[in-house]
Amino acid sequence: MSTVSLEADFEPGTTALALPGISPGVYGPQDFAAVADMVRKEAGIVLPPGKAMLVYSRLAPLVRVSGLGTFSAYLAAIAQDDGARRKAVNALTTNHTFFYREEHHFTHFATVVRPRLAAQLAQGGAVRLWSAGCSSGEEVWSLVMTLLGPDKREGRMLAKRDLRVLASDIADHALDRAAAASYEAKGLDAVPEDLRAAWTRPSGTDLTIAPELRDLVQFRRLNLHGEWPMRRRFAVIFCRNVMIYFDQPTKERLVARFAEQIEPGGFLYIGHSERVSGPAEALFESVGPTIYRRRPQ
């Protein structure tokens, strides 16, 4: 996910509209406040006043399709409609990522974590990985390619073991894109050539992720702010550039929940501008830039 810069927006505490060309009767500060309250309760996402234009641009198409004419009428309607509210939350999420983003994470995973996981699998153990906030899939496919490695024979042997990967996001459209597993070839330029050759297939001007990888990954809609159904702990959790959208108490609760879900000695990878904080910080040790190891119990 990414942030968006805005040049025209509501000022905190104002009642006048500061968005040129938009009627206050259609969308005003009170509507933005209602949207911000809704998305915070639904998904833990914080929308500061500087996001007023973003909210308008994302939700205006849904307001038009609803035929209700104004944001206030639309918001009143979706308050009683779980499906419509889910579409609104989907529209308000920002899904921006790319292959091998923050390359140092994958270098660490390949050199430090992968050998341990490969040995664990070879000995008949189970390995579970989680890409939390997977967006359109580039992160999870980068992770699985790195895990299976450039040797196709070895990678296929690992894939036949007790290995599963969960990829979750709150946005349905992002999950659909991720599960399709097909991307413009130039989007994979950052992926090491040997991994790209081993685990992708040409499809016109696109590259499609190989079936061996696709069989390992389960895509699920999951609200990090809600209930988690997982029964097993994870050896590795990637949750990058997600916490930047949460307030501090929500970040701290999320870190504590991750600590519960990671095996002792397992790893948590977060975004370059994010930090592990709060009471659960004591359960982690920093082992690299935005890389944390769960302390053994």
Residue in the block written with tokens 């430090």? 112
Task: Report the chain's mean pLDDT, rounded to a whole number.
Answer: 92
| Residue 14 predicted with pLDDT over 60 | no
| Residue 102 predicted with pLDDT over 50 | yes
pLDDT-derived band at 4, boundaries 50, 70, 90: very low
209 and 137 in one domain? Answer: yes
89 and 126 in one domain? Answer: no
What's the pLDDT at 291?
Answer: 98
Report the pLDDT averaged over residues 56-64.
Answer: 96
215 and 157 in one domain? Answer: yes
pLDDT-derived band at 15, boundaries 50, 70, 90: very low
CA–CA distance, 90 with 170 (Å, rounded to integer): 7
129 three-state secondary structure: strand
70 and 28 in one domain? Answer: yes
230 and 142 in one domain? Answer: yes
As for how many domains the chain has, the answer is 2
242 and 107 in one domain? Answer: yes
| Residue 9 predicted with pLDDT over 60 | no
Give catalytic residues, as residue numbers.
58, 169
Q: Minimal CA–CA distance to 178: which of 205, 138, 132, 133?
A: 138
Report the pLDDT averaged over residues 31-54.
Answer: 92
What's the pLDDT at 136?
Answer: 95
| Residue 16 predicted with pLDDT over 60 | no
260 and 166 in one domain? Answer: yes
- Give the pair of three-digit tokens for residue 273: 């501008």
Q: Where are the beta strands (DSSP E) in the chain?
A: 126-132, 162-169, 182-184, 200-203, 206-209, 217-221, 234-239, 262-270, 284-288, 291-294
152 and 31 in one domain? Answer: no
Domain termination site, one of 41, 75, 94: 94
Domain hosting residue 18, numbered range? 1-94
Burial class from Cβ neighbours inside 10 Å (0-12, 13-18, 19+) for residue 6 reads middle
**What is the percent of the chain where pLDDT is above 70?**
94
39 and 139 in one domain? Answer: no
271 and 177 in one domain? Answer: yes
Instruction: Give the CATH number for residue 237.
Output: 3.40.50.150
What's the pLDDT at 18?
Answer: 55
Q: What confidence tens digit (pLDDT) does each residue in 120-166 have? A: 999 999 999 999 999 999 999 999 999 999 999 999 999 999 999 99
Cα dihedral across residues 46, 4, 30, 56: positive or negative = negative
77 and 132 in one domain? Answer: no
Domain termination site, one of 94, 129, 154: 94
Domain termination site, one of 71, 94, 117: 94
86 and 192 in one domain? Answer: no
Report the pLDDT averaged over residues 236-253.
Answer: 94
Q: Minimal CA–CA distance to 236: which of 196, 278, 292, 279?
A: 292
